[in-house]
Structure formats: C-alpha cells, structure tokens
Chain A
C-alpha cells in the first residue's frame, strides 16, 4: 500500500497515477470535509482527465482522513502543494506538519518520501526525525504541470531521487513503485535533487525569456517568430519540446518562486545571480504587452473605450489566477474607468472592486459593444470561436491575441485586426 498525504493538486494527481499503475493507494488528507467531497467525486482542482481517472481506479484508491491507517503503508509520500506568498517565497509549514505526522505513524522499515517541492537543505534536516526503526527518508522531484499533470504523472521522463546515501540501494518499496513507470531513475544527494527541481525551472525560464526577447524584436523588424520557431525545434541542441512559444512573461507562481529562491540562495552564498534579475525584469516587462498594444491602438485614441477580456486564469486548463496577465490588465484598466467585460470558463473569482469591471458567463456577451477584444489566456475553447461572430459582436476591430488563438485568416476575412506576439503589429501587418 502506498500512502499519499495532502490531497491538493500534486497529491491527487500522484495518487491517481500510482493507482493507475496497479498499486493500492491510501489518499490521506487531514481535512475530513475535503475527504468527504473527494469521495463524492467533487474535485478541488481543474485538471483535464483527473475525474475520469479517479473513477477508473476507485477500486484501488481509498480516500481517508484517518491518520492511523497510514501505518499500513510501506511507502508514504508527502505530496501537499506548497503555498507561495505574494513575494514569491514558499511556506513549507504544511510539508513540515505532514512530515511530522508521517514520522509519528509510519511503520518500521517504511519509506517516507517528500514529493512536495522544498528548498535545498530541507530534507536532510528531517533525517533524524524520520529515520528511526529502519525507516528511510527520500526526496523525489515532482514535475507537475497544471493542465498536463496526468500525462506527466503517468509517463514521466525520469525520476530524480534525493537520498541520504546515493550509493546505497533505494528502499525496496520505492524501487518497486518507481520501477513500474519504466523510465530512468537518478539517485543523488538530497541537496542535488532539491536543486535539480529548481534547475529545471531555471532552464525553462531561460528559454522562455530568450523566446520572448526575440519575439519582441520580431514585432519591430518585420520578422515572424512562428516562422523561426520550427527551425529551432529541428536543432538537436534546442529540441522539439523546447519552450519556444512566446508568452506574457512568466505565469503562475512556481517559476517565479524558484527564481526568487535562486536569487536568495545566491545572495547568501556570494554567487552572481544577475541573470536571474534580468529574467525577472523581462517577465515583468512582457506581462504588459497587451496594455501596450491597447494603449497605442485604442486607449490613447478613444475617449470612453470598452474592452472585452477573454481569460482570467494564468494559463489554460487551470482555475489559478496567480500572476495572471488578464487579471493584471483588468486591475489596471477598470480602476481608471475603462470598461472591462471579462469571460473565463473556469477561473476562480477575481478581486477587482472597480465598478467598470464585469464578469459574464458567455464569451460573445463579453464582446458586445467593446472596442477591442483581448484574449489573455489560450483556453482550447477560445480556438473554436468564429472570428465572424466575434466581429459581429464587437464595436471595434482590434483583437489583441498574444497567442494567436483565433484563426488568422478568419480574422482577416472578418475584418479584424489581430495583434499577436512575435509578429509585426497590425498597423504594419499585411494579412
């Protein structure tokens, strides 16, 4: 039996993944009400396919708020999501609490694994508490991606495992579990594994930042990034899965948190992390790209502009609005008296007290009488929208579509002026 502690996004997906591989799983959470809701099929997160998978594996996965039952698990994962503060620092308190709980109830010779992301040095500090009576403590890097979490959980590229002694064999229960996924297994020191997670995200940010910088240059010199990116993907040193799609800075909280962690660790250890500062500044710059386009083409020209906004979540297939470009835009425009009518299929409630902000339940209703449409989140449903219907609903012709969600030819045919990242802006764009 494998126990997963903490039934938020990471814990749910990981527990479902283990059950899908044929293991018996105890999905534990301290919150009995949450457990009741999960038993009733109510999920606290949006993740494509998760509800269906949980239904499929219900015979092998048991939700429980009874900590004593964890004593029957030979492998225990601490898998609670780590909350991040507005200043991008993470709060490890939930991980610590569950780790202490596990240390108190785990059976002798059980293996306790920290799956939640923690900073270098965290796991080793708990070794003495956990490693008694033949028990072992490991850290395993999670690579959950909101919206693609199931695929990542079921088909991982590799497992990175931090150990007290990387030369020693992995504990048998952990080896048996990870072996079921058929991918490389990389044991290393705790600190190396903890930093590996941060290193992965730093390399992603590096690619994102380079993409965004060059895409911005495209907008000024007549080049198109969507013509360049395929050439880069065919370069083996860059790769087909590289993050080469331009975006509005760095969304969400995980990448920003890891940059903040690198910055803090570097300052404390005298390492030059100026590069990280550059990444963070550039991300802050790009998040306002829609505002810049709107200002140049609408806000500085029309006395009482109205803006339709599609997308409030920070990216598609998630409810989270943390670091969301759409929310940021609304919170700039509405307090200035500029009417913003927003639509998002899933996003959590958005704090925007300005009277000029309104959220509606239909995408075309948001467009009614608006001078421009901003598509701030590339939800799959938005790709199905008919540009002609959008044009009919809008009062103006401007569509600020950073990700190119709407069909470009359809926009042209409908007389819409589509501004997208990495391409010349509409005034000089020949469609």
Chain B
C-alpha cells in the first residue's frame, strides 16, 4: 500500500508538529539520533486550536520540508464531541498551512481506531468504519489532510498505529504502561474480565523508526503500524509482573463487555520494508521496566 520515491535519504528538514507528546517526542528523538535535520513544533509554539493557526504554522514551513503531523488531544483528555471538534479544528489549520505552504511530504500519524471493530485481520484495505469518536476524529482528519495534500501536490503517508506503549507515555491508560507501573509498585494489576482480549502492542521506538523509514524513502500511501503478533492483556500483565520481580499480582474482574480480539495482516509493511524488525512485547516491557526503574531510583 506504500510506494517509495527514492532510496533512503534524509529529508532536507523534518518538522514534527506535536513534538511534545508521547509519539511526537519519540519521533523527534529518533530523527535527531539519526543525525537528520529536525525541528519540533509544540502547542506552545503554535496553538493549532486557535484561529489563525494555519498561517502561523505555514510561516514555519519551507518548501523542501517533510512534516510529521502527530498533534492530537488523546482520549484521556476527553472522548466527547467537544474534543472531537477541537481535534478536527487542529487538522483544519494544518490543512490550511499545507495549501499556503506546500511541502515535500506529509506523514500523518492517526490510529487503527479508524477500522471497524470487527475487522479481522486488519489490513490497510479493511473497511474504515470507526465505532468511537476518537476513531471518527482520525478518519475525518485523514480525509481533510488527504484533500489538502491532493490540492497542494504533497505526497501523503497515513500511518495507523495499533496500541502503543513504552517509556515516555503519560496517559497511563489500560495496558502495558499501567501494568509496568503497577507491577513495580508491587500492586495488583486488575484486568478487564480475565484479560483475554488479544491486541497488537507496538513499542514506541518502533513507530519512530517506521516514521524514519517513510521519510527516508519519500513514501506515499497508507500503512498500519503493527507487529503482526497479538498477545492477550493477561500475557502482558504477567510478563510485567515477572519482570518487576514477581511481587505484584494479576487479578481478573467481572467482565462488562464481550471479548474482542484484534490481529493485523502485516504483509504490506513487510513488502514496504522487508528488513524491518519489530520489538517483541517482552523486549518492550523489559525496556519499559528498566526505564521506569531508573526513574524510580533517580526520583
């Protein structure tokens, strides 16, 4: 689903819009580590929800820039229509900026929430039929950004990551991040039901590397960011407890919702980047535990 414009080469400059978030900061750090010219734009620099933000962002862009648009109000900041409206407004301003100042490439980091919850396995060609406002928001933003890119002649990559985890996550939502913190604190990880649901957990540095791949190749198209291996929440919790030293516990709870699984067919990613190696859930949790333990010591 991706086409490449060139052999790997660093873009003239990459601008990461939303550089202070969990994903944006990882992308900024990785591109910097590669030695690629990179510039971060945060909400402190340009408030994308404010009127006039499109022109403000455009003034920061150059013709040969690649732009990574990752700024969004995440579900922990609100799952309501008002949050949806603010997120859509942010995308509208980015779209305005692209039309005013066309760039060399745009990479939009959205979410696999755009897909139908029943899709199995999920592929890039799966029906985008979101069941949440969060998913609808990303789909609406994709359509808006795609329209602007078409109008401005800007190659576009839509990345749709599965569940992300790793150091630097501030959301502490249900999943590996919270499990590690709970396990290190010696507490009890409470699962929804028995944690049977299987999900494809993606380590944060892997999406940063994926962004570098599409930037380097000047790619265009749609790509899911998923490892191709799904694990249950219980498995993740038990690994976290084991890695934390075994003092914590894992407990189930009465199930409120039917069990749903999500698997990905990652053939498109393999075809686009045949040598790309994913971080396994265990390896990622090991890195997470090391990071959180270090934080605990330094604190």
Residues of A within 8 A of B (CB): 281, 285, 288, 291-292, 294-295, 299-301, 305, 332-333, 335-336, 338
Contact = CB atoms under 8 A, between A and B. Distances in A.
B267 A299 contact: no
Contacts of A338: 274-275
Contact of B274 (A281, A285, A301, A332): A332
Nearest to B277: A300
Nearest to A289: B267
Contacts of A292: 228, 266-267, 270
B221 to A, nearest CB: 15
A285 to B, nearest CB: 6
B123 A295 contact: no
B270 A333 contact: no
Interface in B212-266: 228, 265-266
B125 A295 contact: no
A292 B265 CA distance: 10
A80 B277 CA distance: 49
Contacts of B276: 300
A285 B265 CA distance: 8
B275 A299 contact: yes
B271 A285 contact: no
Contacts of B273: 336
A63 to B, nearest CB: 45
A301 B277 CA distance: 7
A332 B271 contact: yes
A333 B271 CA distance: 8
B231 to A, nearest CB: 14
A288 B278 CA distance: 18
Given A285-B123, A285-B267, A299-B274, 14 more contacts: A281-B125, A288-B267, A288-B270, A288-B271, A291-B274, A292-B228, A294-B274, A295-B274, A300-B277, A301-B277, A333-B274, A336-B273, A336-B274, A338-B274
Contacts of A294: 274
Interface residues of B, number: 15
Contacts of B274: 291, 294-295, 299, 332-333, 336, 338
A146 to B, nearest CB: 26
B278 A300 contact: yes
A336 B265 CA distance: 20
A295 B277 CA distance: 8
Contacts, number: 38
A285 B266 CA distance: 10
Nearest to B229: A296
Counting chain B CB atoms within 10 Å of each CB, which of A281, A291, A300, A301 scores highest?
A: A300
Contact of A300 (B4, B267, B271, B275): B275
Nearest to B125: A281
A303 to B, nearest CB: 8
Contacts of A305: 275
A295 B270 contact: yes
A373 B54 CA distance: 53
Nearest to A332: B271
B267 A291 contact: yes
B123 to A, nearest CB: 7
The 6 A-B pairs of least Cβ separation, nearest first, read A300-B277, A288-B267, A295-B270, A336-B274, A332-B271, A299-B274
A296 to B, nearest CB: 8
A24 to B, nearest CB: 53
20 contacts: A281-B123, A281-B125, A288-B270, A291-B267, A291-B271, A291-B274, A292-B267, A292-B270, A294-B274, A295-B270, A295-B274, A299-B270, A299-B275, A300-B276, A300-B278, A305-B275, A332-B270, A333-B274, A336-B273, A338-B274
Contacts of A301: 277
Contacts of A300: 275-278
A293 to B, nearest CB: 10
A300 B274 CA distance: 8
Contacts of A336: 273-275
Contacts of B123: 281, 285
A332 B276 CA distance: 13
B38 to A, nearest CB: 25
Contacts of A288: 267, 270-271
Contacts of B275: 299-300, 305, 336, 338
A323 B276 CA distance: 25
Contacts of B271: 288, 291, 332
A294 B276 CA distance: 12
Contacts of A291: 267, 270-271, 274
A100 to B, nearest CB: 41
